[in-house]
Amino acid sequence: MNTELTERYLRAAIAGLPAATQDDVRTELTALIMDATEARIDQGEEPPAAERAVLTELGDPAILAAEYADRPLHLIGPRYFLVWRRLLKLLLWIVPAVAVVGVAISQALVDAPLGTLIGSPSAWASAPPSTWPSG
């Protein structure tokens, strides 16, 4: 019977895997952990300390789960990193530019000072219809 610590470890290590693989990995890992723990107990370690040492040596179960799932542990890999960075720099000035233009247009339409337009929500609600350009 697995201890609670090992159970929690196993659950974390099989997270994200397809169901059939989960059972397989769980059974395989259980035996590996148990055997390693027993080897340490045979060498004189206390069972809880041995178990903890084995699991610590196995490392972060989330990393193990990612390795089992062949999931890359990064979002943007080397192949697209430069493209992404160029795009980001481009957007960093395009988006504010568009925002400023958008605000300027609405300012011209409502004919109010820029500050009040951005600052007070009521400026949008209470803009008198007569200020809309006619024709």
Partner 1 sequence: MVWRMSDTFDIHLQELRRGTVVLACLQLLRAPGYGYGLLEDLARHGFVTDANTLYPLLRRLEKQGFLTSEWNTDEARPRKFYRSSAAGEQLADTLTSEWRALTGAIASLTADAPTNEES
Q: Which residues bind partner 1 (CB under 8 A)?
A: 24-25, 27-32, 34-36, 57-59, 63-64, 67-68, 70
Quick one: 54 or 117, whose CB is closer to partner 1? Answer: 54
Least Cβ distance, residue 25 to partner 1 (angstroms): 8
Least Cβ distance, residue 78 to partner 1 (angstroms): 16
Quick one: 22 or 117, whose CB is closer to partner 1? Answer: 22
- Give CA–CA dist 85/6, Å, rounded: 42
Quick one: 69 or 127, whose CB is closer to partner 1? Answer: 69
Least Cβ distance, residue 10 to partner 1 (angstroms): 13
Least Cβ distance, residue 117 to partner 1 (angstroms): 49
